[in-house]
Amino acid sequence: MTDLSAIIADIVAEMADAPERGKVADYIPPLATVDPMKFGIAVIEADGTCHLAGDADEPFSIQSVAKVFGLTLALGSVGDQVWKRVGREPSGTAFNSIVQLETERGIPRNPFINAGAIVIADILLGRRQPSEAIAETLRFVRALAGEDGIYIDDGVAADEQRTGFRNKALANYMRAFDNIVHDVDQVLGVYFHQCALAMSCRQLALTGRYLMSGGRNPETGHSIVSANRARRINALMMTCGHYDGSGEFAFRVGLPGKSGVGGGILAVAPGKASIAVWSPGLNERGNSQLGTLALERLVQRTGWSVFEPLGR
């Protein structure tokens, strides 16, 4: 195998020249103004070796990538009760579709579409104040990463709260089916703040380590979730992690992954590496255009796809 740092350097060089960079999300001002030329990648191997390149240390809005950490927390809190309120199937529709909720009576198809993550936020809210639930999420992510520098961008959260009418529609709709039980605005407060986590590629890859390591923090040996649960979260990331582009991501990259409209992707090569990429331009399905391409290149050269024997 070629040296990993060289591979990553090659990828960064290739991405710098890529002609098609996708379209930066523009629905709230803080996302719209991000420089589309940004590109960062961080790869942390199972032994802890960390490879960084490009803008790997620059924080960005992780947005829906946070749904992975929200789900992990909710599973820790109520266990498999989660699955009474959220499904485990790919949606077959856009990330913010409401159609499925009507035909399936308020049960979102999976925890990685907006509706599903809003139910997860409702679970996380529990009997607490929104500020407590938000603080817990932040503490959890900081602990996973072992970094106190991770923060929530309140400006991003406020902008989403002001303009997120589709999410308000989803939440109210599920409330009508009793699949949201708390005050809708409070639930969305938790949800929007979770989305507004600001992290660098390095921090994101650090946070994702438990998913490559059977649920343990490989540095501390501390168990975050059971091996079984880590495996299942990875499975959900594979089938549902890229909205209605999940099949395409599996086809091209072949790793469990979760994308966000901020242009970040967290990908997991079980037993091999925790990977974060960031490039703000999105493809037509709302996933990072160059982030996906970079992961495709990485997997081609490392053989890390879970679907081939060579890398295993």
Q: Which residues bind a second copy (CB under 8 A)?
A: 46, 87-93, 97-103, 109-110, 165-166, 168-173, 175-176, 184, 212-214, 227, 230-232, 234-236, 238-240, 244-248, 250-251, 254, 256, 270-272, 305-310, 312
Residue 96 among known ligand-binding residues: no
Residue 86 among known ligand-binding residues: no
- Which of 62, 269 has the CB closer to a second copy? 269
Residue 82 among known ligand-binding residues: no
Nearest-approach distance from CB 38 to a second copy, in angstroms: 28
First-to-final CA distance of the chain: 13
Cα→Cα distances 190→49, 157, 215, Å? 34, 9, 25
Nearest-approach distance from CB 151 to a second copy, in angstroms: 28
DSSP reduced 3-state for 312? coil
- Which of 129, 172 has the CB closer to a second copy? 172
For the question of residue 67 being annotated catalytic, the response is: yes
For the question of residue 200 being annotated catalytic, the response is: no
For residue 139, what is the enclosing H or E element?
helix 130-145
> Per residue, what are the HEC states of 203-225?
HHHHHCHHHHCCCECCCCCCECC
For the question of residue 173 being annotated catalytic, the response is: no
Q: What distance in Å separates the CA atoms of residue 82 and residue 146, rounded to the nearest whole number?
A: 27
Residue 20 among known ligand-binding residues: no
Determine which one of 141, 225, 261, 277 is catalytic: 261
Determine which one of 65, 191, 210, 258 is catalytic: 191
- Which of 101, 152 has the CB closer to a second copy? 101
For the question of residue 99 being annotated catalytic, the response is: no
CB burial of residue 33 (10 Å; 0-12, 13-18, 19+): exposed
Determine which one of 64, 97, 279, 288 is catalytic: 64
Nearest-approach distance from CB 185 to a second copy, in angstroms: 11
Residue 151 among known ligand-binding residues: no
Q: What distance in Å separates the CA atoms of residue 5 and residue 72, rounded to the nearest whole number?
A: 30
Residue 78 among known ligand-binding residues: no
> How distant is the alpha carbon of residue 116 from its chain centre?
13
- Which of 96, 151 has the CB closer to a second copy? 96
Determine which one of 67, 68, 91, 258 is catalytic: 67
Closest Cα to residue 122, out of 49, 191, 52, 215?
Answer: 191
Amino acid at 135: A
- Which of 130, 254 has the CB closer to a second copy? 254
Closest Cα to residue 278, out of 160, 198, 173?
Answer: 198
Query: Token pair of 294, please?
Result: 């970079």
Placement of tokens 């960390």 in the chain: 50
Residue 172 among known ligand-binding residues: no
CB burial of residue 203 (10 Å; 0-12, 13-18, 19+): buried
- Which of 77, 239 has the CB closer to a second copy? 239
User: Residue ranges for the binding site for substrate?
Assistant: 64, 114, 160, 167, 191, 243, 261
Give the residue ranges of the annotated binding site. Answer: 64, 114, 160, 167, 191, 243, 261
| Catalytic (active-site) positions | 64, 67, 191, 243, 261
